[in-house]
Amino acid sequence: MFVKICGLSQAEHVATAVGAGADAIGFVMTRSPRRVTPERAAELAAEVPGHVLTVGVFRGEDPETVRAAALTSGVRAVQLHGRHPHADFTALKDLGVTLIRAVDAQADLRCGAYDEDLLLVDAPHAGSGEQWDWGAVRGRASGRWMLAGGLAPGNVRAAIEAAGPWGVDVSSGVESAPGVKDSRLIEEFLRSVRG
Ligand SMILES: O=C(O)c1ccccc1N[C@@H]1O[C@H](COP(=O)(O)O)[C@@H](O)[C@H]1O
C-alpha cells in the first residue's frame, strides 16, 4: 500500500515520515494553514531520499504558476485540486513530473482519464480533515488511486477495507492542531497501514 504524508513544513517531520516508511511526502504550496513557499519546499525536499516521492500540492492555480513553483521547489510530482480541465494536465506533461489529479467522489474516477499518472479521491473540502463515505467509491475508482479525506491512525484500516484503494494520503489526521504535524501520529499512521 502506497502511503503519502502531506502538509509537512518542518525538517523534523520530514525525517520522521521518511524514517517510518512513507512513499511520498507532500508540500502544500497553495492557500492553507500548511502552506510553504516553493523555496522552503526546496529546502525540505533536499532532505528526502530519492526513493520517496516529493509532491507539490496546488488548488486552482494556472499551469504556469504550478510549473514555476515545481521548478523552484524541485518536487517530483504535482497534485492538482480544483476541477482542472484535461488541457491543464496536457500542458504540464513536458515538466516530466508525476501528475496527480485530486478530485471528490463526483468526478471521473478512472486514473488516466485526464492523462494523469495518479488519481487522488478526497473529501469535497480538501485538507479539512473531513471524513466522507469512503466505501461509496469501491469499484468506481480504478487504476492507481489514493484515498484521502479524514484519514487518521484509528480509522485508516477500516477506510482501506471499505474503499479498496491503491494508496492512502493523510494530512490533518497526523496533526495535534491545524497545520501542526505530530511525529508520534505520523509513525502511528504508518504502523496502522502496514501492521
Ligand atoms: O492540506 C491542505 O491544507 C490542502 C490545501 C489545499 C488542497 C489540498 C490540501 N490537502 C490535501 O487534502 C488531502 C486530505 O487531507 P486531510 O487528511 O483530510 O486533512 C490530502 O491529499 C492533502 O494533500
In a domain, 50, yes or no: yes
What CATH number should be reported for the domain holding residue 142? 3.20.20.70
**Residues 6+ away with beta carbon under 8 Å from 103:** 83, 109, 119, 120, 121, 122
pLDDT of residue 112: 97
Q: Is the CB of 59 under 6 A from ligand 1?
A: yes
- In the block, residue with C-alpha cell 471528490: 104
pTM, to two decimals: 0.96
Decide if 111 is catalytic.
no
Percentage with pLDDT > 90 across the chain: 95
Q: Is residue 154 part of a domain?
A: no
Question: Can you tell me the distance from the alpha carbon of 25 to that of 57, in angstroms, rounded to the nearest whole number?
Answer: 10
Q: Which residues contact 163 (CB under 8 A, 6 or more apart)?
A: 121, 134, 135, 137, 138, 141, 147
In a domain, residue 176? The reply is no
**Does 189 map to a domain?**
yes
Helices (H), the chain: 11-19, 38-45, 63-73, 86-92, 156-163, 183-194
What is residue 8's predicted lDDT score, i.e. its pLDDT? 98
For ligand 1, atom 11: residue with the closest CA? 127
pLDDT of residue 195: 81
* Mean pLDDT across the chain: 96
The residue-averaged pLDDT of 148-173 equals 98
* Domain, as residue range, for 40: 2-148+185-194
Is ipTM strictly over 0.90?
A: yes
Total tally of structural domains belonging to the chain: 1
Closest ligand 1 atom to residue 81 Cα is 7
Q: Is 32 in the pocket of ligand 1 (CB under 6 A)?
A: yes
* Pocket flag, ligand 1, residue 16 (CB < 6 Å): no
Residue 167 lies in a domain: no
CA of 184 to the centre of ligand 1 (A): 19
